[in-house]
A = this chain, B = another copy of it.
Amino acid sequence: MSPAQPAPSPRPSVESPSLRATLSRAQAESTASLLRVVSDPTRLQILSLIRSSPEGASRVADLTRELGLRQPTVSHHLKVMAEAGVLTRRPAGREVWYGIEPARLDAIGDLLR
């Protein structure tokens, strides 16, 4: 078990400027790219499926079956979200378990405040 992850890798840095400050173009672009990571129906379904899974994490094959998409497609989405810090990645033998990083998800939602 050991639910403590070994650190979610070098994070892409949130900054979390929010809309209150005057947004520079660079800030606006970085905020937009972070929002775009979760602005896809398949990715939202992945997050929802992982969240509702009993283990709090899912394997690639699980998600592939539940989504009805090809496995490379699912791996692609998982990679993008893991790189954005939204998902954690934990290899176990041949399998890889993906879990949610709730703080990161909340931070993205807070970008609109």
Q: CA–CA, A106 to B110, complex, Å?
A: 8
Copies per complex? 2
Task: Determine if A28 and B51 form an interchain contact, defined as CB atoms under 8 angstroms apart.
Answer: no
Q: Range of interface residues on chain A?
A: 20 to 34
Shortest beta-carbon distance, A49 to chain B, in Å?
8
Q: For the complex of A and B, list the 5 residue pairs with the smallest distance between their C-beta atoms, beginning with the closest.
A: A28-B41, A35-B39, A23-B48, A109-B109, A109-B112
- List the interface of chain A (C-beta within 8 A of B): 19-23, 25, 28-29, 31-32, 35-36, 38-45, 47-49, 51-52, 105-106, 108-113
Question: How distant is A32 from chain B, measured CB to nearest CB, in Å?
Answer: 4
Return 11 A-B CB contacts under 8 Å, by A number. Answer: A19-B47, A19-B51, A22-B48, A23-B44, A23-B48, A25-B41, A28-B42, A31-B41, A31-B44, A109-B111, A109-B113
